[in-house]
């Protein structure tokens, strides 16, 4: 897919009548801090993209004063003004309790059909109806939730990347009885998620607060006082941190994190190496935790070929870190959000997909 990006918050692009005639869907990735709007043609290709800072916690005006309507109009009004009644599908925090409308979670195992069956609709002041994708809940003593990632996950299933994550340590006879293939999908970020798919359903997932903890440690603890930001990322320091977590992390991250400071004090780690070292340390602990929870289900991380969704630079870091755990088949999936929005829109009957008839 290709796209032309236009700033949307408070800015109106010049209407493109030719594109408007080809458009069949507006897809929204509406999160806490940003809003991305995609204009799709009948083949599922992105004609145009508009990016706004109007996430649900940063609306142009308060929500009770029409903030969601204002943000939607700023992002998509230029497309809607062309006169065609386009269906709109939205995913992300817009469907949370703090969003435009509450779209209750679907419990695991969660299939695409289950998401579609639980879509909630809200009507904008301009008269356009938005279909909002629900999030996913894994219930239990320690419940887990996602909202927005489920759309990316189903988009990744349609991408030609990665392979199945087959359990490697089951006895052969038992493994043969497992008819449902498993796929491992990783979504690095502030709250990194690792999702186990069984067939085409989200079976279970794990959330690691890696990115948020890194930000807190560097900004609000003694570790940040001796750090100096490198001009370019230091891959060697990063991998050193991954190795320390993998080989010496049995005491846990609360113990090993302090090595960021002590290695500096003993002149074994330069100030500009410390940020990447700590990054590797935390990601290494994340992967060690992932390895442990997968092993409880007789799945070896090293035998998996995960699909990674997220910013290229961060996904590349995870790919390098995974290799240190013997997992060398990780592949980065691009445009998962756009693909996911299109797939769900087709499944929901908002648009006609390739090979279907109206």
CB 132 within 8 A of CB 103: yes
Give the number of C-alpha atoms closer than 13 A to the C-alpha of residue 318, restricted to the C-beta side.
30
3-class secondary structure, 11: coil
Domain assignment present for 159: no
pLDDT score at 354: 63
pLDDT score at 21: 80
Distances (CA, A) of 196 to 23, 104, 112, 295, 321: 34, 21, 15, 13, 19
171 and 45 in a common domain: no
pLDDT score at 291: 98
- Smallest Cα–Cα separation from 107: which of 150, 161, 164, 167? 150
Say how many domains are in the chain. Answer: 2
11 and 111 in a common domain: yes
Phi-psi region of 144 (alpha: psi -120 to 50; beta: other; left: phi over 0): beta
What CATH number is given to the structural domain containing 262? 3.30.420.310
- Environment class of residue 312 by beta-carbon count within 10 Å: exposed (0-12), middle (13-18) or buried (19+)? exposed
Domain assignment present for 157: no
- E strands along the chain, which residues? 5-7, 23-30, 35-41, 46-52, 88-92, 106-107, 110-111, 120-123, 129-132, 136-138, 144-146, 182-187, 192-198, 201-208, 307-309, 331-333
137 and 201 in a common domain: no
294 and 186 in a common domain: yes
pLDDT score at 5: 43
Domain assignment present for 356: no
> Measured between alpha carbons, how far is 100 from 132 in angstroms, rounded to an integer?
9
Q: Residue 233 — φ and ψ, nearest 5°? A: -55, 140
Residue ranges for the chain with pLDDT beneath 70:
1-17, 83-84, 159-180, 354-358
> Measured between alpha carbons, how far is 36 from 54 in angstroms, rounded to an integer?
9
pLDDT score at 226: 94
Domain span at 54? 5-141+337-347
Domain assignment present for 354: no
330 and 204 in a common domain: yes
Q: Could you read off the pLDDT of 181-236 as tens digits, one per residue? A: 899 999 999 999 999 999 999 999 999 999 999 999 999 999 999 999 999 999 99
- Environment class of residue 328 by beta-carbon count within 10 Å: exposed (0-12), middle (13-18) or buried (19+)? exposed
CB 110 within 8 A of CB 116: no
> Measured between alpha carbons, how far is 231 from 224 in angstroms, rounded to an integer?
17
pLDDT score at 355: 55
pLDDT score at 203: 97
What CATH number is given to the structural domain containing 16? 3.30.420.300
Q: Residue 98 — φ and ψ, nearest 5°? A: -95, 5
Domain assignment present for 116: yes
């Amino acid at each position: 897919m290709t796209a032309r990006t236009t700033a949307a918050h408070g800015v109106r692009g010049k209407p493109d009548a030719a594109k408007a005639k080809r458009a069949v869907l507006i897809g929204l990735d509406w999160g806490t801090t940003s809003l991305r709007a995609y204009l799709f043609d009948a083949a599922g290709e992105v004609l145009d993209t508009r990016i706004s800072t109007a996430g649900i916690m940063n609306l142009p005006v308060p929500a009770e004063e029409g903030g969601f309507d204002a943000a939607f109009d700023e992002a998509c009004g230029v497309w809607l003004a062309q006169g065609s009644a386009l269906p709109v599908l939205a995913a992300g925090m817009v469907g949370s309790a703090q969003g435009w409308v509450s779209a209750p979670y679907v419990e695991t195992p969660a299939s695409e059909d289950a998401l579609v069956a639980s879509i909630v609709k809200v009507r904008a002041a301009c008269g356009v109806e938005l279909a909002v994708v629900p999030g996913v809940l894994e219930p239990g003593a320690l419940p887990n939730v996602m909202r927005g990632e489920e759309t990316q996950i189903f988009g990744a299933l349609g991408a030609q990347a990665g392979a199945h994550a087959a359990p490697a340590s089951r006895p052969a006879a038992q493994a043969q009885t497992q008819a449902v293939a498993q796929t491992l999908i990783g979504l690095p970020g502030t709250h990194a998620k690792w999702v186990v798919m069984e067939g085409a359903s989200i079976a279970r997932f794990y959330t690691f607060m890696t990115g948020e903890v890194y930000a807190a440690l560097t900004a609000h603890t003694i570790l940040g006082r001796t750090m100096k930001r490198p001009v370019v990322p230091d891959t060697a320091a990063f991998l050193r941190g991954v190795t320390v977590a993998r080989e010496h992390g049995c005491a846990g991250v609360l113990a090993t994190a302090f090595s960021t400071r002590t290695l500096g004090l003993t002149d074994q780690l330069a100030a500009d190496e410390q940020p990447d070292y700590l990054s590797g340390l935390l990601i290494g602990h994340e992967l060690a935790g992932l390895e442990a929870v997968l092993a409880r289900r007789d799945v070896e991380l090293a035998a998996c070929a995960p699909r990674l969704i997220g910013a290229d630079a961060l996904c590349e870091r995870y790919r390098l870190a995974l290799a240190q755990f013997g997992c060398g088949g990780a592949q980065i999936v691009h445009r998962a959000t756009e693909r996911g929005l299109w797939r769900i829109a087709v499944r929901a009957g908002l648009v006609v997909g390739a090979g279907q008839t109206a």
